[in-house]
Amino acid sequence: MSVAVRLRDAMNAHDLEAFLACFHEDYQSEQPVHPGRGFGGREQVRANWSTIFAGVPDFAAELRSSCEEDGQEWSEWRWTGTRADGEALDMAGVIVAGVRDGRMIWGRLYIEPVEVVDESIDAAVRKMAGRSSEGR
């Protein structure tokens, strides 16, 4: 069974120990679009996910797709639930992971909140190009 499938099953069962069993003791995490969030070690994984499971009691993980080859596993996720403050949790993205001995040794997380207000592709491209209006 792939690491991504085991992660999904542990997340949906809110089984912290089964979740932690998916990570190597020397696990290294990075979030390339949020460089300050990188960390090392399984104990930080424990701290992060015990907070998530406690704060989002109906947390659910959907594994949309995954593939594994040559010690790497790519997985696409959708995470939903209701946060402790009553607001909806809705996140989607991809995790790229290095796998050794059936456990993640490193991970690059590209998981982001789903936007509540959509903007059109034209508006997004203009913003990316530094052109906030049509006339510029």
Helices H / strands E in the chain, number of each: 4, 6
Q: What are phi and psi of 92, to 5 degrees?
A: -145, 150
**Residue 80 token pair:** 């939903």
Q: What CATH number labels 3-128? A: 3.10.450.50
Contacts of 33 (CB under 8 A, 6+ apart): 110, 112
Please give the Cα distance from 92 to 71 (Å, whole number).
Answer: 23
pTM of the entire structure?
0.87
Comparing C-alpha atoms, which of 34, 30, 8, 24 is closest to residue 108?
A: 30
pLDDT tens digit at each of 136 positions of the chain: 899 999 999 999 999 999 999 999 999 999 999 999 999 999 999 999 999 999 999 999 999 999 999 999 999 999 999 999 999 999 999 999 999 999 999 999 999 999 887 788 888 888 889 987 654 4
For the chain, the structural domain boundaries read 3-128
Instruction: Tell me if residue 119 falls in helix, strand or coil.
Output: coil
Q: Rg (Cα) of the chain, in Å, rounded?
A: 17
